[in-house]
Amino acid sequence: MSLAFKVITSFSSIFTTAYSAIESIISSPNQETNHQPDHAFQAPSATDKRSPCPMVNALANHAYLPRDGSNVSLLKLIQAAKEGINLAPDATLIVGLKALQTSTTGSWLTFNLDDLNKHGVIEHDASLSRKDVFFGDNHSFSPETWETVFKHFRGLEKIPLEVAARARKERVENAKASNPEFNLTEDHARFSVLETCLYLMVFGEGTQGNARTDWVKVLFEEERLPFQEGFKRSPTMLTLGQILELHKKVGAF
């Protein structure tokens, strides 16, 4: 079997599996998962795999994704995002299909969370909370990097869209100035904006922003969903259309 045919048939299987399940996921009741014992926070062990993405890691730390971070399927990622933060399947697919391109599991259908450490697919320069790959560790939380972003939010109860957008923009400018091999492609820049949109949507007021500062801090610094601080996932699904609307606003700065 040729490699090209293997790719085509494998991705056909991915889409068939994902889309056959999406309707049932969307139509399933919005069960309250905020305080279920099965989704209690548990910090990862030394052998658990984690990604450069705080939100993905939080889903694993709450067991919406496998706690060991291994062999995550596209369908599992879609289900986890809906159950944990009520993110619509079409929005999750944007990340999920990219994630499969990094897979080292031996299967076209799954990936490990640490596969996402691969530079230039989802992981990119100018992360809000990670160092650029030029400086070595591009996947672990960097307090120094995060402080350059969080300083814009300190003292605010909520993070306005404009403040979040400017914090992201300044982070990109600082990374460009300090990294002699800085490279942020157009595709990576879109993902960079998307990351800001995600925390604004999940912890804020839809497309208006205004994410609660303490909730955002918990996500980035502890990779935990801030249930104990009062967070509850949106009662309505967060759609791709809403994210694209917010993406346009954040990207305009």
Q: List the beta bridge partners of residue 119.
A: 123
Contacts of 169-178 with C-beta under 8 Å, sequence gap 24+, read 169/253, 171/126, 171/127, 171/128, 171/145, 172/126, 174/148, 175/125, 175/126, 175/132, 176/126
Residue with tokens 């993902």: 191
Q: pLDDT tens digits for 186-231?
A: 999 999 999 999 999 999 999 999 999 999 999 999 999 999 999 9
Give Dmax (Cα) for the chain: 60
HSE, CB side, 13 Å, CA atoms: give it for residue 133. Answer: 15
Out of 6-10, 26-30, 96-100, 207-211, which region has the weakest mean confidence (pLDDT)?
Answer: 6-10
pTM of the predicted model as reported, rounded to 2 decimal places: 0.88
Q: pLDDT tens digits for 51-79?
A: 999 999 999 999 999 999 999 999 999 99
- How much is the average pLDDT of 220-244? 97
User: Cα separation of 249 and 253, whole Å?
Assistant: 8
Average pLDDT of the chain is 90
Q: pLDDT tens digits for 118-134?
A: 999 999 999 999 999 99
3-state helix, strand, coil in the chain (%, to 5): 55, 5, 40
Going by C-alpha positions, the residue among 83, 119, 79 that lies closest to residue 96 is 79
Assign a CATH topology to domain 3-28+52-251.
Answer: Chloroperoxidase (1.10.489)
